[in-house]
Homo-oligomer: A and B are copies of this chain.
Amino acid sequence: MPRGGLSGSFSTPRVDVLIDMGNPLLNITVDGFLKIGAVAATRVAAEDAYHAFKRGSLSGDKIEHSLKKMCKEGAYWGTVAGVYAGMEYGVERIRGTRDWKNAMIGGAVTGLAISLASNNHKDKIVMDAITGSAIATAAEFINYLT
């Protein structure tokens, strides 16, 4: 049955990017990179839009600077998220269960990996692993609450 007339629906943007890499671990990692990278880039865009709105002007130079910052921050958040998502999936496969301890272990390994990659001091690496673990556990708990 053909529908006529004007459809009045308005749909808010849906974030759904699907890229099949042929491997679940890789799929999750790439998915995490793209989605969280997009969130981080949006954050930079929103911040810079606020500043431009306050200043009341928008120059080409500023836009270029914003775009570069969006790419940089997006790549950084995306990498952290991709590593974490991959780690959590790996821990889940190894342990064979789904609970908050996966998030705890995944967060610790991610903190460790990111800290190692940035050439930090030995103490700083341990601190980062503990902090990553705590943040991931906290995020997991909050999700169970609501």
Contacts and interface: CB of A to CB of B under 8 A. Distances in A.
Interface of A: 12, 15, 28, 31-32, 35-36, 39-40, 42-43, 46-47, 50, 54, 77, 81, 84-85, 88-89, 92, 100-101, 123, 126-127, 130-131, 133-134, 137-143, 145-146
Nearest to A34: B141
A30 B131 CA distance: 23
Contacts of A84: 142
B141 A139 contact: no
For the complex formed by this chain, how many copies does it contain in all? Answer: 2
Contact of A143 (B130, B133, B134, B139): B139
A138 B143 CA distance: 12
Nearest to A42: B134
Contacts of A39: 134, 137-138, 141
Q: DSSP class of A's interface residues: helix, strand, loop or mixed?
A: helix
B32 A81 contact: no
A142 B92 CA distance: 14
B36 A141 contact: yes
9 contacts: A32-B142, A35-B138, A47-B127, A47-B130, A81-B138, A85-B142, A85-B145, A85-B146, A89-B146
A20 to B, nearest CB: 14
A126 to B, nearest CB: 6
A61 B50 CA distance: 48
Contacts of A54: 123
